Structures are given as C-alpha cells and as structure tokens.
Amino acid sequence: MAVYTEISDEELIDFIDHYELGKLLSFKGIAEGVENTNYVVHTDKGTFILTLYEKRVRREDLPFFLGLLEFLADSGLTCPTPLRDRDGRIFSELAGRPAAFVTFLEGIWVRRPQVAHCAAVGQVLAKLHIQGTRFKKARANALSVRDWRPLYEQFGKQANEIQPGLAEHIEEELDVLEKAWPENLPRGIIHGDLFPDNVFFLADKVSGIIDFYFACTDMLAYDLAICLNAWCFEPDNAFNVTKAQGFLKGYASIRTIEPLEIEALPILSRGAALRFLLTRVHDWLNTSADALVRPKNPLEYIRKLRFHHQVSSAREYGLSAS
Amino acid sequence: MAVYTEISDEELIDFIDHYELGKLLSFKGIAEGVENTNYVVHTDKGTFILTLYEKRVRREDLPFFLGLLEFLADSGLTCPTPLRDRDGRIFSELAGRPAAFVTFLEGIWVRRPQVAHCAAVGQVLAKLHIQGTRFKKARANALSVRDWRPLYEQFGKQANEIQPGLAEHIEEELDVLEKAWPENLPRGIIHGDLFPDNVFFLADKVSGIIDFYFACTDMLAYDLAICLNAWCFEPDNAFNVTKAQGFLKGYASIRTIEPLEIEALPILSRGAALRFLLTRVHDWLNTSADALVRPKNPLEYIRKLRFHHQVSSAREYGLSAS
C-alpha cells in the first residue's frame, strides 16, 4: 500500500505519447497493492491504472501475467485489460522499471464478505478456470509445495519469536504435506491470490477481478483451497461453513468439481494455509520497522492451519455428497 | 503522502448517503498530502476527493478553510469546491475524523517549473488576494513571526545535529526578524503554502490550486515571499531571477504591488525561508524512523535563507523600479 517509485510529469507525458491515450489530465499515486506502484491516470480517453513493477515481480513473468489479462478480458472475464503501445508492446519502461497501462475497473472490494459474495466469487473463479484452459502460455507456481521448505529454511527456528513452537509445527506440516500432496488433479491457470481485496463488486455482482501477479499453472482445486482460506473465515478465525457452501456451490454451478478434487480439498486447504503462513512469517521477520508497508499478521494463518488440520472430510467444507 | 485512516466500504456507503452523490462506484486511497488522508471517489455523479482530517488540522479551523474554498470557487477561482450534505453541512464525521467531499480537479503539478509557470502562478495568486478581500471570515496565521521562537525552542540546540551552528544562525535570524518584521502592509487572505505541488496545470494554464490548510489572514506580500522561495530557486538552490521577475510581473498584472510591499520583500522572503526552515527542522528531528511520511530535508531552506540574508534591495528579486 505505497508508492515506491515517484514519477515526474515530464516522464509520464513522454511515456503516454507512446500510447493512443490522448492528453494527460491528471495522475495520482494510489495506496493499493503491496508489490507494485500504482497510479490512477486520467487522459481525455478515460481513466487507467499505470503499474510500475517493483522488484518482487520478475520482468520475465510479465508477458505471462499481462498476456493472461489480455486473453481473459478478450474472453469476456471482467479483469483489467492491458493497453498496447503504438509499437504493440504490452509493457515497456518508465522510471527504470517495467511499466504497463491497464483499464480502470469500477467496483469496491468487500471488507466483510457475505454468503452471496462468496457464491459470486465461486462463479467467477470457475469461469476463470474454464477460460484459462484455452490460454497458451504456462508458468510454474513459484510458491508450490516444493518451494515451502526452502522458504521455511530462510527463517527456521526464528519463527518461534512469533509463537513458541511455531517452527516445529511448520516442520510437521511440511513433512505431512510433502508426502500427501496430490499430483493427479485437473490443472490449468489459477489466480493464486483471490483474496477479497482482489475482487470488486457493484451491487453484489462481481465487477472485476484484479492482481494476477501470482497467477500460474497448477491444480485448479488449489485455487478453491486458497479461496476457502481467504473468504470463509470470520474475523475471529472461526470457519463459516455457510460461506464455504455458498462459494463451492457457486463454483460448481459453472464447473463440476470432480470427486478427486473434492477428496483433496482438506489437504489442499491445509497446504494453502501453510503457504500464506510461510510468506507472512517471512515478511513479518524480514520487514524493517521503517518500511512503507506493514506486514500482515501471520497469527491468523496459524489458526486457519489448525482448523484444516482437524478436518477429516471435504463434507466439513459444506460439500454435500453428490 | 499516505493513507492514515482506512475506511470500509460500508462506512463510506453510509457516509455518501448523506450527500446528493448517487451510487458509490469505487474509491482509492491516494498518496497525496502530508497532513490528511485523501481518497479519490467515483460515484455515478462524477469524481470527487474525500478528505479525512488528521490531527494537524484543527476541527475549529474547518469552517474557515472549507468556507474559503466554497467562497473562492463561487468567485470563479479554480479551486476544489466543497460539497454540502443534505443537511447543508460542509463537513461531518467519518471513521472518527472530520471529513469533507470536494470536487476533483484535473491538472498536473509541475516538478520543474519554468518562467511561464511562475508568471501564471503570480496571476492566480493576485486573483486569490483580490477575491479574498471580500471573504468575511478571518483566521490568524498560526505560523507567523511571533510563533517562530516558541517553535525554535521546541528543539533549540538540537538543530546543530543537522548542521553545526544552525541553532545560533536561527537565533540571530529570529533577533533580526522579530525587530524588522513589517506591520503596516495590506492584509487579507493568503494561501500560505502555494508550493508547486499545490498548483495544477493543463497545457501551461493553471487549472486549479489546492491545499488551503495554511490559509489565514496576513500580509498579502508575505504570500509573494513564500512563492519566491517555493518557485524561484533551482534544484541546486541558486536563485533564478528570471523566474522571480516572471512571477512578480504576473502578479502585478492583476494586482499592483505597493511601494511599501516592494520594499519589504527582502525581509518577508527571509522570514518565509526561516518559517519553512523551522517547520522542516522540527519535523526532521521529531519524525520517527517508522513514520509513513519522510520529512523534507531542511538544508534547502538554510541555503535559501542565506540568499535572502544577503539581498539588499527588492531589485535583486527582479523588480524594476517603477
């Protein structure tokens, strides 16, 4: 939630000249996105988001991320559409960073999602998964099961500063998940980070999904597991089975969840909780006190992980036997 | 340049219901303004700025600041126009803070002002001064000559941590300025903070002036002195007399600068440089390392102060004898 890279009026005017965007009317740095710098830009052609990619996004991944957005927007999914410049480039360079324009989407992310929101997210995620199967590019998940242990080893026992016993708890989970992680589930493009702040609503309808910078090729059901973690717990970290049921029903109304996927949901959800726990612990221990962005509290994911740990069947996520 | 206060979708929807603003379409926190939290808000009636006033702006001053904006906008000056809610209130309460909507102004602030920009700013400042004489409310300058010594005494010799001898230099300036400060110059509403980032341009024309939260009743020529400091020095802190000449000519083309005002310019400019030096030193020494906003470097104003110190006549600011 910060502007990491300041740009000058002259730089931006030069940059915009490479697009069919007309005249610059105004630009404001916005406090959105943890990874990148974003500006809302008004030109006489409309409102756009300009993103400068900071170090966490690798330049070589941009053709995948931006190509995916362009493909999905063309397929009718409401996501930001990248603009190509006069030379047909989907991103170029501004202030020493890769930079891209995308269309501005109206909509509001919901701080306290209700069941109807969860159902709507389920539907849009299923549409994304179906459209994604036709997308030609692929990208390995950089935060999949095989990446968790190396990430853990970057901090190791230091995790116990956050909560005594946390390091051992993580080690046990790693041992279990590395063995039990499924392999043979339907794969395709997943969003990988579909948290409430990445879904815009207008009048209870999804008006846009954003922030595809964790998108990759992985098991589709892993995206369901991420959403169960992101959408279906209450602020006190109690699991809300009605929300999960709404989410899964919404999804299944568009794309059938296969029996093997259903069966794998508890282990995938446990893995998703561990994945966010690991990055949050890492960021918590590695963010200096004067950073522009406050790291997110990892404790929330310790509790979510405990919940999934004790789940014995996918029925506990509200899936009726079918 | 930060969002100090986060608001929820539900809070904002409730708040907007008190205005004739139609439906909320989106809102984004913007990285503008050091003092307050600002959001760009889209509704089906247009684009607006929502400001939440943080602790530096006193609630009892808001009727003056917002009343002045409303008055000036009505008089045809391009500044943000406050919106009144259905009960006629010019500000109310949101997330525990005073909050107000103003119209969004297109325009870009100029990082490297040229002579033409300085001339245009001179003109709009003169218009502000002329319109301001008809504004009924008054507000004492909270950062005028009598406030400088108490401000200095908050840090005192600690200033020498920034530059050896700085404390003694400030003390000498205070002694001189307190004695020599003029009293009998034309008074009225001054902006008090008309720096480049508070003036928007479109195609070299001023499209708006913003940030009236230092506006007060004081000597009009003091506003000229502030602008000489803010607009007429180069990045290497060399004074650019051509810019000063452009600024003063632009101003004088709208409002005559009186002989006593001309004569007072060197001492007023020295005072203005000291005023910004004092607040910057104060902020520099009192900002914790983990603050969301980096304080501005005070060294720039030490050099500007030195320049004005050696000026012997207003002619050195580019004013021809008239």
Same domain as A120, residue A99: no
Give the ipTM of the model, two decimals please.
0.89
Chain B hits for A9, CB-CB cut-off 8 Å, are 108-111
Q: What is the pLDDT of residues A150-188, one digit of tens each?
A: 999 999 999 999 999 999 999 999 999 999 999 999 999
Q: Provide long-range contacts, Cβ within 8 A and 24+ apart, for B285-293.
A: B285/B155, B285/B158, B285/B159, B285/B161, B285/B162, B286/B155, B289/A289, B289/A290, B290/A289, B290/A290, B290/A291, B291/A290, B292/A292, B292/B1, B292/B2, B292/B4, B293/B1, B293/B2, B293/B34
Q: Is A1 a member of any domain?
A: no
Q: Is B133 a member of any domain?
A: yes
Q: What is the C-alpha to C-alpha distance for residues B303 and B307, in angstroms, rounded to an integer?
A: 6
At B36, which CATH number?
Answer: 3.30.200.20
Same domain as A254, residue A199: yes
Q: What is the C-alpha to C-alpha distance for residues B72 and B137, in angstroms, rounded to an integer?
A: 12
Whether B95 shows a pLDDT value over 70: the answer reads: yes
Q: Which of B142, B108, B120 is nearest to B253 (CA)?
A: B120
Nearest-Cα residue of chain B relative to residue A7: B111
What is the DSSP code (8-state) at residue A188?
Answer: E
pLDDT of residue A35: 77
pLDDT of residue B290: 60
User: How would residue B49 be classed by pLDDT, with cut points 50, 70 and 90?
Assistant: very high
Same domain as B150, residue B67: no
Which of the two residues, A293 and A107, has the higher pLDDT score? A107
Chain B hits for A29, CB-CB cut-off 8 Å, are 1, 30-32
User: Which residues are paired to B217 by β-bridges?
Assistant: B140, B189
pLDDT of residue A287: 78
Cβ distance of B28 and A27 shorter than 8 Å: no
The residues of A whose Cβ lies within 8 A of any Cβ of B are 1-3, 8-10, 23-32, 40, 42, 105-112, 200, 202-203, 289-292
Domain assignment of residue A307, given as a range: 115-317
Average pLDDT over chain A, rounded to whole? 93
Q: Is B31 a member of any domain?
A: yes
pLDDT of residue A3: 73
Q: Is A108 a member of any domain?
A: no
pLDDT of residue A286: 86
Mean pLDDT of the A279-283 span? 94
Of the listed ranges A21-35, B186-200, B263-277, the least confidently predicted one is: A21-35
User: How would residue B293 be classed by pLDDT, with cut points 50, 70 and 90?
Assistant: low
Are B212 and B191 in contact, with CB atoms under 8 Å apart?
yes
Asked which of B52, B75, B103 is the last residue of a domain, the reply is B103
Residues A277/A278/A279/A283 CA torsion (nearest 10 deg): 100
Same domain as A87, residue A134: no
Same domain as A146, residue A77: no
Same domain as A261, residue A219: yes
Q: What is the C-alpha to C-alpha distance for residues B242 and B118, in angstroms, rounded to an integer?
A: 9
Asked which of B76, B103, B130 is the last residue of a domain, the reply is B103
Q: What is the C-alpha to C-alpha distance for residues B316 and B298, in angstroms, rounded to an integer?
A: 24
Residue-by-residue DSSP string for A146-179: HHHHHHHHTTGGGGGGTSTTHHHHHHHHHHHHHH
pLDDT of residue B292: 62
Q: How far is B260 from chain A (nearest CA, A)?
A: 38
Chain B interface mutation, best of A13, A30, A51, A288, highest count of B Cβ atoms under 10 Å:
A30
Cβ distance of A110 and B9 shorter than 8 Å: yes
Name which of B25, B31, B110 is nearest A202 (Cβ-Cβ). Answer: B25
Q: What is the C-alpha to C-alpha distance for residues A117 and A125, in angstroms, rounded to an integer?
A: 12
Whether A1 shows a pLDDT value over 70: the answer reads: no
Asked which of B77, B103, B129 is the last residue of a domain, the reply is B103
Q: What is the C-alpha to C-alpha distance for residues A54 and A38, in angstroms, rounded to an integer?
A: 10
Are A9 and B200 in contact, with CB atoms under 8 Å apart?
no
Mean pLDDT of the B188-200 span? 97
- The crossing angle, in degrees rounded to 10, of helices B115-132 and B62-74 is 110
At B302, which CATH number?
Answer: 3.90.1200.10
pLDDT of residue A56: 83
Residue-by-residue DSSP string for B47-107: EEEEEE--TTS-GGGHHHHHHHHHHHHHTT--SPPBPP-TT--S-EEETTEEEEEEE----
Q: Which amino acid is at B274?
A: L
Whether B289 shows a pLDDT value over 70: the answer reads: no
CA atoms within 13 A on the CB side of B207: 17
Cβ distance of A107 and B25 shorter than 8 Å: yes
Q: What is the C-alpha to C-alpha distance for residues A213 and A90, in angstroms, rounded to an integer?
A: 15
Same domain as A65, residue A194: no
Q: What is the pLDDT of residues A221-249, one digit of tens each?
A: 999 999 999 999 999 999 999 999 999 99
pLDDT of residue B296: 82
Whether A288 shows a pLDDT value over 70: the answer reads: no
pLDDT of residue B314: 87
Same domain as B251, residue B178: yes
**For residue A220, what are its two tokens?**
């589709």
Cβ distance of B32 and A28 shorter than 8 Å: yes
pLDDT of residue B291: 63
pLDDT of residue B74: 96
Q: Is B9 a member of any domain?
A: no
Whether B212 shows a pLDDT value over 90: the answer reads: yes
pLDDT of residue A4: 80
Whether B1 shows a pLDDT value over 60: the answer reads: no
% of chain B residues with pLDDT over 90: 86
The residues of B whose Cβ lies within 8 A of any Cβ of A are 1-3, 8-10, 23-32, 40, 42, 105-112, 200, 202-203, 289-292
Q: What is the C-alpha to C-alpha distance for residues A115 and A240, in angstroms, rounded to an integer?
A: 9
Number of structural domains, chain B?
2
- The crossing angle, in degrees rounded to 10, of helices B241-252 and B220-231 is 150
pLDDT of residue B287: 78
Average pLDDT over chain B, rounded to whole? 93
Nearest-Cα residue of chain B relative to residue A110: B9
pLDDT of residue A2: 67
Same domain as A231, residue A128: yes
User: Which residues are paired to A93 by β-bridges?
Assistant: A98
Whether B320 shows a pLDDT value over 80: the answer reads: no
CA atoms within 13 A on the CB side of A287: 18
Same domain as A281, residue A134: yes
Cβ distance of A27 and B108 shorter than 8 Å: yes
Whether A294 shows a pLDDT value over 90: the answer reads: no
Name which of B24, B200, B291 is nearest A108 (Cβ-Cβ). Answer: B24
pLDDT of residue A72: 97
Mean pLDDT of the A116-126 span? 98
Whether A76 shows a pLDDT value over 90: the answer reads: yes
Same domain as A179, residue A98: no
Same domain as A235, residue A119: yes
pLDDT of residue B191: 98
pLDDT of residue A297: 83
